[in-house]
Amino acid sequence: MRVLAVTRLELRRLIVRPLAWVLAALTLAQLAWRFTLLLGGFLAGQIKLAALPGGPGYTDLVGVPMLSSILTGGILPFGVVELALVIVPLLTMSSLAGERSNGTLPLWFAAGLPASRIVLGKYLALMLWLVLWLALALAMPLSLSHGVTLDWGKLAAASLGALLTLAALAAIGVASSAYASHASIAATIALTVGLVLAGMNIAVQKAGATSGVFNWLALSGHLEDMLRGLVSLSDVAWFLLVIVVALALATQRLAAEKERG
Amino acid sequence: MTAPSTVLQLDHITRHRAGRAAVANLSLTLDSGQVLGLLGVNGAGKSTTLAMIAGALTPDSGAIKLNGKDFLEHPELAQRGIGWLPERAPLWPELTVLEHLDAHGRLRGLGGAALAKARQRIVERLELGSLSRRLAGVLSQGQRQRLGLACALLHEPSLLVLDEPANALDPVQVAALRAVIREQAAAGTAVILSTHLLAEVTAACDRVAILHEGQLRYDGPITDDDHKMLEQTFFDIALRGGDGNDKARAA
pLDDT tens digits, chain A, 261 residues: what are they? 678 999 999 999 999 989 999 999 999 999 999 999 999 988 888 878 777 777 788 899 999 999 988 767 666 688 999 999 999 999 999 999 999 988 899 888 888 889 999 999 999 999 999 999 999 999 999 999 888 888 999 999 999 999 999 999 999 999 999 999 899 999 999 999 999 998 887 777 676 666 677 778 889 889 999 999 999 999 999 999 999 999 999 999 999 988 876
Using a CB-CB cut-off of 8 Å, the residues of chain A touching B91 are 102, 104
Digit-coded pLDDT (tens) for B175-205: 999 999 999 999 999 999 998 778 888 888 9
Listed residue (A235, A187, A9, A215) closest to A89, CA to CA: A187
B234–A contact, CB cutoff 8 A: no
**For residue B2, what pLDDT is reported?**
63
A18–B contact, CB cutoff 8 A: no
Looking at residue B190, the DSSP 8-state letter turns out to be E
Question: Region B95-104: what's the mean pLDDT?
Answer: 95
Digit-coded pLDDT (tens) for B232-251: 777 777 766 666 555 554 44
Using a CB-CB cut-off of 8 Å, the residues of chain B touching A261 are 15, 17, 48, 51, 57-58
**Up-side HSE of residue A20: CA atoms within 13 Å toward CB?**
21
Which among A21, A109, A117, A257 is the top mutation candidate for probing chain B, defined by the most B β-carbons within 10 Å of its own β-carbon? A109
Query: Does the structure show a pLDDT above 70 at B226?
Result: no
Digit-coded pLDDT (tens) for B105-133: 999 889 899 999 999 999 999 999 999 99
Q: Which residue of A has its CA nearest to B155?
A: A111
For chain B, the structural domain boundaries read 6-87+161-250
Strand order in the sheet with B215-221: B82-85, B159-163, B190-195, B35-39, B207-212, B215-221
B95–A contact, CB cutoff 8 A: yes
**ipTM for this prediction:** 0.82
Considering only the beta carbons, identify the residue of B82, B88, B94 that sits closest to A16.
B94
Digit-coded pLDDT (tens) for B12-24: 999 998 788 899 9
Using a CB-CB cut-off of 8 Å, the residues of chain A touching B109 are 1-2
CA pair distance A52, B100, nearest whole angstrom: 62
Question: Are A107 and B56 an interchain contact pair (Cβ–Cβ within 8 Å)?
Answer: yes
For chain A, the structural domain boundaries read 2-260
**For residue A209, what pLDDT is reported?**
67
**For residue B245, what pLDDT is reported?**
55
Query: Does the structure show a pLDDT above 90 at B75?
Result: no
Using a CB-CB cut-off of 8 Å, the residues of chain A touching B107 are 2, 5-6, 9, 107-108, 111, 113
Using a CB-CB cut-off of 8 Å, the residues of chain B touching A102 are 90-93
Do residues B226 and B197 make contact, with C-beta atoms less than 8 angstroms apart?
no
Total residues belonging to chain A: 261
Which residues, in sequence order, are CB contacts of B175 under 8 Å at separation 6+?
none
A131-147: burial string, b at 16+ Cβ within 10 Å, e else: eebbeebbebbeeeeee
CA pair distance A105, A108, nearest whole angstrom: 6
A4-21: burial string, b at 16+ Cβ within 10 Å, e else: ebbbbbbbbbbeebeebe
Using a CB-CB cut-off of 8 Å, the residues of chain A touching B90 are 102-104, 106-107
Instruction: Quote the minimal CA–CA distance from A10 to chain B in Å.
Output: 10
**For residue A55, what pLDDT is reported?**
74
B51–A contact, CB cutoff 8 A: yes
Which among B64, B95, B106, B155 is the top mutation candidate for probing chain A, defined by the most A β-carbons within 10 Å of its own β-carbon? B106
CA pair distance B36, B7, nearest whole angstrom: 12
CATH among 3.40.1620.10, 3.40.920.10, 3.40.50.300, 3.40.30.10 for B6-87+161-250: 3.40.50.300
Percent of all residues in chain B with a pLDDT value above 70, rounded to a whole number: 92
Listed residue (A133, A120, A37) closest to A81, CA to CA: A133
Query: Does the structure show a pLDDT above 70 at B169?
Result: yes
**Up-side HSE of residue B52: CA atoms within 13 Å toward CB?**
31
Q: Which residue of B has its CA nearest to A258?
A: B57
Percent of all residues in chain B with a pLDDT value above 90, rounded to a whole number: 54
CA pair distance A214, A250, nearest whole angstrom: 24
Helix (H) or strand (E) segment spanning residue B220:
strand B215-221
